[in-house]
Amino acid sequence: MSEQQSQQPNIHANGASGNRHRTGSNGNSEQHSAGSTGPAGAFSPRFAQIVGWGYHVPEKVITNFDLEQIVDTKDEWIRSRTGIEERHVAAAPSETSATLGILAGRAALEMADVTPSKVDLIICATSSPEHIFPSTASIIQDGLGASNAGAFDLSAACSGFVYGLSMARGHILAGDAEYVLVIGAETLSRIVDWTDRTTCVLFGDGSGAVLVAASDVPGGITATVLGSDGSGADLLTVPAGGSAMPASLETVSSGGHYIKMDGTAVFRFATRVMAEATRQVLGKAGLSVDDVDLVIPHQANVRIIQNSVFKQLKIPEDKVFINLQKYGNTSTASIPIALCEAIEAGKIKPGDNLVFVGFGAGLTWAACAIKWSVPIAKPEETWWRNTQRQAAYQAAAARSMWKRAIRRVYSQFPAKSRWGERKEESEAG
């Protein structure tokens, strides 16, 4: 039995699938929890804990020096104005928001040692979905073989991952789900204008995921704050390709399907809301700024973090995790990627108070307070476990291909024989 398994004793049946995750016992916040009354009439509190996490970034790296060859820019300008040094880019056609999301989702499930079939809901926050519809989340659901999960995309731009955590917490506290997979997945390089130096230097591709589980251990996601100000919708937008400005030869030739941004206005907005949202969420969680052990802010620009988290909130640098120098702004993926790297760097331990805070197009902002209550231990990797997992991935792919094949065969039959008498009746009537 792995270390993590051994620390997750007696799951007690009380939810939709009767499979609640029992985690470590370092949390002490009993507020903001929901629960249910058991057969004996005893109230059983319910908490939403992050029990698995993972991320994936494409292999191809574009440095600031590479960008100097593409647009009129300088490494020094990008570094001093943003803090970014390089970013990962989905160069292969097979690297899409869904395939990156699947890899992050698998990593989160592996970390939690939970099989895809146990997931009740998949929320994919993305600013670069595969299509207007179907949702990228549904494609991820199929790829993961999460055959019992509902799936939807969440559009709140770079705030989307924290919005997703809020939705996951709500579903879990309401008793509607035991396991919710929240994914941030982006291939922004596909919607960036590589001739526009004001935007192309900022963004990168990648994905991050967390598995949120129902738990009876106090803590987890204890409070969330969500905000929106649509009067700033035009400050950061992809103008064309939606119903307001459908794709046409003209929208394509004028570059309307690329990201457009008023950087200065977004900068001003971001520095204000990052500090405000952090204060609000701490208030809701009954904590002060001094109680915070680690802030994981949206990784857009180091100067936004300095002006808001360091200067306005006076949170010291060693309590703020920053990795944007390696990835640029990966939108919805930035916070979960940073979370994974903060864990890898030993910056998070059970009992810590964390704040995730983000902002983005919309305009939107979001923050959540987390009492980290799970052990930071990867399940022991054995040959057998790995083989089982690979077999499950193959089975998911085979199941998907089989369903598609059946539909193709079925579509070969003439409509009359498919609908039979019903069609004849409707034609007659």
- Shortest distance (Å) from residue 112 CB to ligand COA: 29
CB nearer to ligand COA: give 300 or 320. 300
Which residue in 88, 298, 307, 353 is the catalytic one?
298
CB nearer to ligand COA: give 27 or 129. 129
Which residue in 124, 158, 200, 368 is the catalytic one?
158
Name, in order, each residue with C-beta under 8 angstroms of 94's C-beta and a sequence gap of 6 or more.
none
CB nearer to ligand COA: give 47 or 365. 365
Is position 340 annotated as part of the catalytic site?
no
3-state secondary structure of 306: helix
CB nearer to ligand COA: give 303 or 378. 303
Do residues 329 and 158 make contact, with C-beta atoms less than 8 angstroms apart?
A: yes
**Distance of alpha carbon 333 from alpha carbon 300, whole angstroms:** 11
Structure tokens, 100: 């990156």
Name, in order, each residue with C-beta under 8 angstroms of 16's C-beta and a sequence gap of 6 or more.
120, 175, 176, 177, 178
- Shortest distance (Å) from residue 80 CB to ligand COA: 9
3-state secondary structure of 61: strand
**Distance of alpha carbon 86 from alpha carbon 295, whole angstroms:** 23
**Distance of alpha carbon 266 from alpha carbon 157, whole angstroms:** 13
Which residues here bind ligand COA, judged by CB under 6 A? 73, 77-78, 81-82, 158, 197-198, 201, 236, 261, 263-264, 266-267, 300-301, 329, 360
Is position 32 annotated as part of the catalytic site?
no
Is position 158 annotated as part of the catalytic site?
yes
CB nearer to ligand COA: give 72 or 427. 72
**Burial class of residue 120, CB neighbours in 10 A (0-12, 13-18, 19+):** buried
- Shortest distance (Å) from residue 311 CB to ligand COA: 16
Place of tokens 């009067």: 231
CB nearer to ligand COA: give 151 or 273. 273
Nearest to 210 by CA among 314, 356, 399: 356
Do residues 359 and 334 make contact, with C-beta atoms less than 8 angstroms apart?
A: no
Do residues 62 and 234 make contact, with C-beta atoms less than 8 angstroms apart?
A: no
Can you say how many angstroms the Cα of residue 80 is from the centroid of all Cα atoms in its chain? 28
Which residues share a beta bridge with 381? none
Tell me which residue has its CB nearest to ligand COA.
263
- Shortest distance (Å) from residue 233 CB to ligand COA: 13
Nearest to 357 by CA among 224, 235, 266: 224
Which residue in 200, 329, 340, 353 is the catalytic one?
329
Q: Catalytic positions, please?
A: 158, 298, 329
